[in-house]
Amino acid sequence: MKYNLREMTVEDINDVIEGEIKAFGTTLGYDLIYTDLTFNPYAHYMVLEIDKLVHGYIGLWINDNSEIINFYVDEEYRGLGFGEMMLDFAIKLCELSKVYNLSLEVRESNAVARNLYKKHGFVFSHKRERYYDNGEDALVLIKSFGDVK
Ligand SMILES: CC(C)(COP(=O)(O)OP(=O)(O)OC[C@H]1O[C@@H](n2cnc3c(N)ncnc32)[C@H](O)[C@@H]1OP(=O)(O)O)[C@@H](O)C(=O)NCCC(=O)NCCS
């Protein structure tokens, strides 16, 4: 198995949409991702390529207060360390960019992702009530990088 993490391009959008729908039952949508890739200087999207096919991605906006926009690994490749590899990369990018903190939203029921984020120093900040379509709350988690400026 050959894998790498590389910058996402417009040509990857349809693969990523397919993967998002499999992972979440929903997608950020072509237009949002296209606009981010093309016009948003704060957006950084990386795809996980395994044997030359896209099997995951992580998107983030890097600013003083950065955010993970979306993140998944295809089900057949989970539990192999790829999620951790992508999250580590995102955290490194934030460190290099000297951001103050990195936040994200996660479903309260998503124990796997919550474990991963906890392992990487994210802590609970607050809840967004009934944030998801099914009425589930989102937990906002934050990793602080301290006063790095
Ligand atoms: C969350 C996700 C990206 C993790 O990716 P992954 O490649 O499976 O994760 P890894 O193999 O790198 O595992 C890293 C850590 O995640 C947690 N984890 C992974 N699989 C787990 C499981 N089955 N049960 C509990 N924790 C688990 C553990 O903390 C693990 O660290 P450890 O191996 O030291 O215990 C993946 O499960 C996924 O795509 N889920 C669906 C989409 C999603 O929930 N995205 C996040 C939205 S906020």
Q: What is the CATH number of domain 3-144?
A: 3.40.630.30
Cα of 83 vs centre of ligand 1, distance in Å, is 6
Residues of the chain short of pLDDT 50, as ranges, are none
Ligand 1 centroid, distance to 81 Cα (angstroms):
8
pLDDT, residue 148, reads: 56
**60 CA → ligand 1 middle, Å:** 18
Closest atom of ligand 1 to 80 CA is: 11
Ligand 1 contact via 72 beta carbon (within 6 Å):
yes
State the Cα–Cα distance between residues 6 and 40, nearest whole angstrom.
18
In this prediction, residue 28 carries a pLDDT of 96
**Degrees, nearest 5: CA angle 138-74-63:** 50
73 Cα nearest atom in ligand 1 = 39
For residue range 47-60, list pLDDT tens digits in order. Answer: 999 999 999 999 99
In the sheet with 123-128, reading across from the earlier edge strand, the strands are 3-7, 43-50, 53-61, 65-73, 101-107, 138-144, 123-128
Q: Where are the domains of the chain?
A: 3-144
- By the 8 A CB rule, do 73 and 109 touch? no
74 within 8 A of 56, measured Cβ to Cβ? yes
Residue with tokens 């992508």: 86
Q: Is the CB of 80 under 6 A from ligand 1?
A: yes
The predicted structure's pLDDT at residue 81: 97
pLDDT of residue 60: 97
pLDDT for 146: 80
